[in-house]
Amino acid sequence: MAESDHLACLEVRGGNVPADVELAAPGLSIHVLSRPYEDAAGGGDVHYVSSCGSGSITRLIVADVAGHGADVDAVAGVLQNLMRRYVNRIDAREFVMQMNDEFVELTEAGCFATAVVATYYAPDRQLSIINAGHPRPLLYRAASQQWTYLDDNADDGNQIGNLPLGILDRTDYASVNVELFPGDAVVCYTDSLPESRDADGELLGYDRLLSLARELSRGQTLSEWVRQWLDAIDSISPGNLHGDDLTVLLLRPDGTVSRGTLPARIGGLCKILATPFRPGHPIPWPEKSLKHLGEILLPWRGRPH
């Protein structure tokens, strides 16, 4: 059974370790399930979830890093520091470019990664996805009760097709954006799912993953849906989901008022101002945009969602 917890402001949660946890973030319910290969203490899959100081930005990352052991542990530490550095930024493109630059420096050691980075801005219910060569996230629309792939439903019509991290330096990463409504869901996962096999030994691929998602009943909790989907994949052929690291991250808007309370915002601001006095921690300055600064300084503006 998954543990339940609330994500605190300016907290960065995750790593390349086993996890089965449900997290509450501003406007979101999240379930992270991660199983390293052969039940190891750490694997090649890395996941992180963070919440900004104003209570309006939640960022989630799922990465599949080449390698195991100490190499991946070091990469997980780099990603954690970058998550902390950009925790108060709405726009994730600079964050992903910095990640890519870090991996380019590590390529001589054969270290590269695929990753999907999701940024949820609660006041506008907007989810931005940057996909760096990673398996395609799934999107469930409660209004139509249909599962599709998220990049098929992007508001701006873009398709996600960025290079993996560490292939080419100074790469500019494109994003796609969707508005999420209560009851919708987004699922990110690593390649152990599409690379599972059917009864004839053929790869399941994206079409079969989508078909299995559509066959599940409606209205489950996050944990129930994740486990039913994985059980369906596992039951098709012996060995599915056991030959590699496995990570699934599911998020769902919970329909609550998205803005943090005034005490929480004041506490978050105090943490930001105190950061320069904490050795070894980069300064998580807020994004200098009217959209974000207005949300921090004028939390009473606009209607709650």
pLDDT at 4: 84
Q: What is the pTM (predicted TM-score) of this model? A: 0.85
Map tokens 């979830």 to a residue.
49
> What's the CA gap between 115 and 135, in Å, rounded?
8
Q: Which domains does the chain have, with CATH numbers?
A: 3-295 (3.60.40.10)
Q: Mean pLDDT, consecutive 10-residue segments, the chain of 305 residues?
A: 83 94 94 93 93 88 84 86 88 90 75 92 92 95 94 58 83 90 95 94 94 86 92 92 94 72 56 56 56 50 35
Instruction: Give the DSSP letter string of 61-123.
Output: EEEEESS-THHHHHHHHHHHHHHHHTTT-S--HHHHHHHHHHHHHHGGGT--EEEEEEEEEGG
Tokens describing residue 286:
């807020």
pLDDT at 286: 60
R_g of the chain, CA atoms, integer Å: 19
Q: What order of strands is seen across the sheet that includes strand 146-149?
A: 3-6, 19-25, 28-35, 246-253, 185-189, 138-141, 146-149
pLDDT at 304: 31
> What's the CA gap between 156 and 172, in Å, rounded?
17
